[in-house]
Amino acid sequence: MAEPDQIESTRRIQTNQPSSIVLSPSIESSIKSLKALFLTPPEILRAITDHFVNELLKGLSVKGGNIPMIPGWVTEYPTGKEKGDYLAIDLGGTNLRVCLVKLGGDRTFDTIQSKFGLPLDIRTTEASKLFSFIANCLSQFVEENKHILDLKDGHKLPLGFTFSYPCSQKAINHGVLQRWTKGYDIKGVEGHDVVPMLQDALNELELPIEVVALINDTTGTLVASAYTDPKTEMGLIFGTGCNGAYFERVDQIPKLADQNLKCEYMAINCEYGAFDNEHKVLPRTKYDIIIDSESPRPGQQAFEKMILGYYLGEVMRLVMVDLHEEGVIFKDAKDTKKLYEPYILDTSFPARIEEDPFENLSDVQEVVRELLGLETTREERELIRSLAESVGERSARLSVCGIAALAKKRNLKECHAAADGLVYNKYPQFKERAAKALDDIFGWNLPMDQHPIKIVAAEDGSGAGAAIIAALAQHNSK
Ligand code: BGC
């Protein structure tokens, strides 16, 4: 039987605190076994990291491997002196961001931006509709900002296009989509260069804009952060998807050897969401296997599917379905329809559950009622809270194996790893858990603020980053 709503309750000081109530044996044993299921002890993280380093090396080899390690054609660290006005767009999971970035040339920048909500069916629309939607948003932005844009005859506004999906790039203004990720499935784009697709849609509306650079969000993050903070060596996204970019020495990239490049460095968009697609080291649970097999692209993005935003709520839902069918939770529920709806719970579900500060977990009660239409007893809430903690903790701990592997690969002893994305910025305790996991891997045994490899909040990658890369591209083409 569900309990009556409690009006008052004391505050729980922090999460991960043992509950003060006596739990029934079935709840207690479920909590224990789920904790064990999602556990990632230091030795597992170290084994994953070692395998990760080998996979990064394979990705750079001529033969290639699971991790694509895509050259991003940004061939120098920014100097901080890049200057000028650039347009930048970022096609995200839920909106299209359009910016005008004014690079100051002195490691500073200003941004004017608009956000456009994406149509609900965007993930499965047609290619032409996607690109004409983007062009229309840009047209509106240009119209609204015409008083500050350089629209003199014949001048084309340079645009950096942040497109955060794996694209093979032969040049900075080129990118063939290898495959959609993060639940996108728009026909007619995979296998095609997305730059002319966007340029054609812009030309159709006679907009004076030239797409000068195609940028992955990680590369943008890397470059934007390096522009303001020279200690930056990695750009990372922990959002709907996960990925990292870094600067590699060109003489360490065998697959570029035949190009006789003159540059010393090349930004690499690792696309390491695809790490361990062969399932050799990641401790997959049956829930990860279901998520993968029911996704639009089974067998791909193994790492991403275990840890990042788009999947956290779904892992929790699948576990709760099992717990319900085993008779552990929601025993008297009359209508469990929502519980059986795939992807009904986004990342805000575990996040809100972990954030509940109250001893009686009244916020958990509210969230479960609101999103699943189900009532909970106090001990069910304890179980759901503990599950959210296990899933959230696993996500943060596994995430940093990518950082550790890049640091080992480049032999970086001290640096800043610039991170962005909803999970990094908003998920409760992600930063602390990630830092602790990095410490576990390297064995520093130091407080977070003294870590030699520090995960820091990134600068605006898809705005400033895209603009700086567009500036570098223009400079290099002159
Ligand atoms: C994409 C990457 C992107 C990452 C973070 C992944 O699904 O393949 O290109 O960087 O998500 O947005």
Please identify every stretch of the chain with a pLDDT value under 70, giving residue numbers as ranges. Answer: 1-19, 478
Three-state DSSP class for residue 137: helix
CA–CA separation, 406 vs 437, rounded Å?
A: 15
C-alpha dihedral (264, 270, 276, 282), degrees to nearest 10: 100
**Confidence (pLDDT) at 478:** 62
Phi first, then psi: give them for residue 351, nearest 5 degrees. Answer: -65, -45
- Angle at which helix 466-477 crosses helix 217-228, to 10 degrees, equals 90
**Confidence (pLDDT) at 92:** 79
For 27-36, which contacts have Cβ atoms below 8 Å and span 24 or more sequence positions? 27/328, 27/379, 27/380, 27/382, 27/383, 30/323, 30/326, 30/328, 30/383, 31/382, 31/383, 31/386, 31/387, 34/319, 34/383, 34/386, 34/387, 34/390, 35/386, 35/390
**Confidence (pLDDT) at 121:** 86
454 exposed, middle or buried (CB, 10 Å; 0-12, 13-18, 19+)? middle
Residue-by-residue DSSP string for 248-276: EEGGG-GGGGGG----SEEEEE--GGGTT
Protein residue closest via CA to atom 11 of ligand 1: 241
**Confidence (pLDDT) at 309:** 73
141 within ligand 1 shell (Cβ under 6 A): no
Measured between its terminal Cα atoms, the distance across the chain in Å is: 73
Q: Which of 30, 90, 97, 164 is catalytic?
A: 164
Prediction pTM value? 0.91
395 within ligand 1 shell (Cβ under 6 A): no
**Confidence (pLDDT) at 110:** 95
Phi first, then psi: give them for residue 475, nearest 5 degrees. Answer: -60, -45
Q: Which of 179, 317, 381, 433 is catalytic?
A: 179
Instruction: Tell me 450's DSSP state.
Output: G
304 within ligand 1 shell (Cβ under 6 A): yes
Instruction: Give the residue ranges of DSSP H helices in 173-216.
Output: 194-204
